Amino acid sequence: MSIARGFSLLEILIAMAISSTLMLSSLKLLPSLQMAVLRQSQEIIIQEDLWMMARVIGKHLQRAGYCAGTCSGEGLTVSNNGRCIIVRWDANNNGVWEKPIPGESELTGFRLHENALETLRGARACTDSGWEKMSEPALFSITDFQVVTRNLQGYPPRMIVTLDAVATRNSEQTYRVSHQVTGYNLP
3-state helix, strand, coil in the chain (%, to 5): 30, 30, 40
Judge whether 125 lies within some domain. yes
What's the pLDDT at 61? 95
Q: pLDDT tens digits, residue range 87-116? A: 999 888 888 787 766 556 788 999 999 999
Judge whether 60 lies within some domain. yes
Q: Is 52 left (phi over 0), alpha (psi -120 to 50) or beta?
A: alpha
Give the single-character DSSP code of 61: H
Angstrom distance (rounded) from CA 134 to CA 57: 11
Residues of the chain below pLDDT 50: none
Judge whether 96 lies within some domain. yes
The answer to whether residues 87 and 111 touch, using CB atoms and an 8 Å cutoff, is no
- How many structural domains compose the chain? 1
Angstrom distance (rounded) from CA 120 to CA 131: 5
Judge whether 104 lies within some domain. yes
What's the pLDDT at 104? 67
What's the pLDDT at 72? 81
For residue 43, the enclosing domain spans: 36-182
Judge whether 22 lies within some domain. no
Q: What is the pTM of this model?
A: 0.80
What's the pLDDT at 49? 94
What's the pLDDT at 6? 74
50 CB-contact burial (10 Å; exposed 0-12 / middle 13-18 / buried 19+): buried
Judge whether 66 lies within some domain. yes
